[in-house]
Every structure is written in C-alpha cells, then in structure tokens.
A and B are shown apart, each in its own frame.
Chain A
C-alpha cells in the first residue's frame, strides 16, 4: 500500500475505511440474523420456544398446587410425591460407615460429620496440630535436649496454621550454618 504522498494520512484513511467496511458487513449480517429470528418466531417454527413456554406454564402450575394447602392429591402427609410417585424424607436416612473414623453415620448428617472428623473446623484443626506437634516433640527431644522446654512452650502459644514454624528453627535456638 505505498502511495506517492501523505502516507500517514493515507494509512489512517485506509484503516477508517476498512473499519467502516467491516461495520457495513457486520451490520448486514446482524440484519440477516434478526430477520431470520423474526420469521422463525412469527411462524412458530422454533419448537424450543413452544416447549419452554409449556414447561414454564406447567412448573408454575405445579408450584401453585404445592403451595395450595387444600390439595391432597400430590402431597402425602408431610412428604412431597415426585413424578415417579416416590416420597423422599427431608433428611436422607441411609446409614453407613464413615471411612475416616469408622463410626456409623446417617447419610443426611454425613457432611457435618466429615467436617469435624477430617479437620475443617477449628477444634479439629487444633486437635490435629497438637497431636502432630507432640509427635515432633518426641522426635526433637532426643537430639536437642537443651532447648526442649523453650520449644514446647512456644509451640503451645503460637496460633498460626503452618506447622513448620512450630519446629522451632525460627526460635533462634539453633544456629544454622
């Protein structure tokens, strides 16, 4: 695209022109899509639309029926009947064994149980940390006798989440070469 004069002016003219031509093309495609959708909608050719409207209507009806207390058909006592005619209790009551601790747990209570059992909660994390620190204590006790008392007391006081600081190297008690 080398032209004799005013190359800079030409470049911006060129890019303006290109951009304008691109917009033209895009706009004409937009009009195509719009008119096609319009035709589809008006002629009712979009069966998805009909199905969706039907579903919306039915679900609205079902919801209305559920909230209506005088209706005894769908509702059976305090349980709701689903489309297969089955009822499900609000809390799942299958019982099985927890793979972490081995207790018998009810399925609906499994998630809260796991939180405590596997250490998501505060207490469980402290419990885990304390027990792992005790184990490290026992190991450390053998090699570094002098600083043992310092080490065990600070580990009880510190409240952070990382286990390595409990090892005591930040104590300054040992000199690393």
Chain B
C-alpha cells in the first residue's frame, strides 16, 4: 500500500485523537466517513447512472450473454462473469465519467478535514 508513509507522518493539528487511539489506517477512517455520511452510496449511484447512460452497462451485459451462450447457462458462476467483465469493464469507463467521479471524491476528501 503506497500511502502507508503518510500514516507515519506527525499528526496534523486537526487530528482526530479519538480515532487515532484505535489505530485505524487513514484509508479506513476515510472509508468510514464516506459510508457514514451517505456519500459512498451517492457516489455509487452517480457512477451507476453514468455508466448506464453511456452504454457501458449494456456492453458488459452483452459480454456476459455471449459468455453464457458459449458455456451454457447452467455452467456459469458469478465468479466467471466477474472475471469476464472486470478487465474490459475497468478499461472502458469513459474518461468524462471517471473525471466526474474523481472530482466528487476529491472534493469529499477535501471537506473531510484530513
């Protein structure tokens, strides 16, 4: 994990001392904040909506369908389908969608008083 180095930094003035006692990594702290504030769910919904709009979801479903056709519908597991979609799925997210989500994430990080 590349950001371990930052955990060893001297604490910032606004450090949340309560949390630090529990020795949670910074990333875990942020994740908790993300979920607690409901922001994670909102971001996920936003991403899902954008991916539907741009046809990404249909592409993925088509990949699944052709895999199912080849393998036979009763021989397919969820793992199989995840392995089928993941490489193409990660690569084919439109740049604009990615940029929009990253912008939201960054502004959340900024407002989360790191």
Contacts and interface: CB of A to CB of B under 8 A. Distances in A.
A81 interface: no
Interface residues of A, number: 39
Interface residues of B, number: 45
A34 interface: yes
A30 B68 contact: no
B19 interface: no
A32 B61 CA distance: 11
Interface in B94-114: 98, 101-102, 105-106, 109-110, 114
A19 B102 CA distance: 7
B47 A30 contact: no
B57 A33 contact: yes
Interface string A6-35: 100110011111111111011111111111
A18 B105 contact: yes
A38 B85 CA distance: 12
Contacts, number: 108
B102 A35 contact: no
Nearest to B101: A22
B9 interface: yes
Interface SS of B by simple majority:
helix
Given A3-B12, A20-B27, A41 B89 contact: no
Contacts of A46: 65
B73 A34 contact: no
Interface centre among A4, A14, A16, A26 (most CB of B within 10 A): A26
Contacts of B48: 29, 32
A33 B60 contact: yes
Nearest to A28: B44
Nearest to A2: B110
Interface of B: 2-3, 5-6, 9, 12-13, 27, 30-31, 34, 40, 43-44, 47-48, 51, 57, 60-61, 64-65, 68-69, 73-74, 76-78, 81-82, 84-86, 89-90, 93, 98, 101-102, 105-106, 109-110, 114
